[in-house]
Amino acid sequence: MLIAHALVLALATSSWLDAPTPTNWNAAGATIPRAPHADMSMNPRCITAKLTRRPVSAADRAIVAAGWMLFNKPVASGASVIIDGQSGFDGMCRPTYYQAFVFSAGRFAGTLAPRAMQSRALGSLQTATFSGRSKIGAIFNHYADSDPLCCPSRLTNVAYRIDATRRGPVVAPVSTRSYKTQ
């Protein structure tokens, strides 16, 4: 597991978070991405510790059907919701291979990151909130190669909007702004 985590950090030296306006990875009418395989056998207590939650909505059930486990309480504004899913745990029961899924009016609109994230790695999501019905703000950890895993030297705010299109809603990153934590 340490080797995989080191590989993620090594591959992530350049990040989508470095672009002032990231290229959008979401497309209207897209399907929910399948959960990547994660080895959960290394720590079965994480599953029994009630760190995941049961699906209660159609959006929850669609995420679970794509192989994800739900965690955290959904964040909602009007007809839009952000739901967190993960495919595994690390040795300390932190989520591995996790993603934040956005739904608008019951339809999948996209993800807040271009690929599944790892806890304590470059591009890992800290929090996401709505600022209005179609605007989202998210904070991501922005590690430098020399940063200890506990403490990223920067955080990056990413602003998104949910666009209505003929093919359905789509989440679009609008801007990034990084700042030092130390």
Q: What is the mean pLDDT of residues 55-67?
A: 96
Asked if 47 and 87 touch (Cβ cutoff 8 Å), the reply is no
pLDDT tens digits, 88-111: 888 888 888 999 999 999 999 999
Which residues are 98's β-sheet partners? 86, 117
Instruction: Report d(CA 125, CA 25) in Å as an integer.
Output: 16
H or E, element range at 60: helix 58-65
| Nearest Cα to Cα of residue 88 among 125, 118, 110 | 118
Q: Is the pLDDT of residue 164 over 70?
A: yes
pLDDT tens digits, 63-97: 999 999 999 999 999 999 999 999 988 888 888 89
Q: Is the pLDDT of residue 7 over 70?
A: no
* Cα separations in angstroms, 124 against 30, 44, 106, 127, 168: 23, 23, 26, 9, 27
Instruction: Report d(CA 43, CA 1) in Å as an integer.
Output: 12
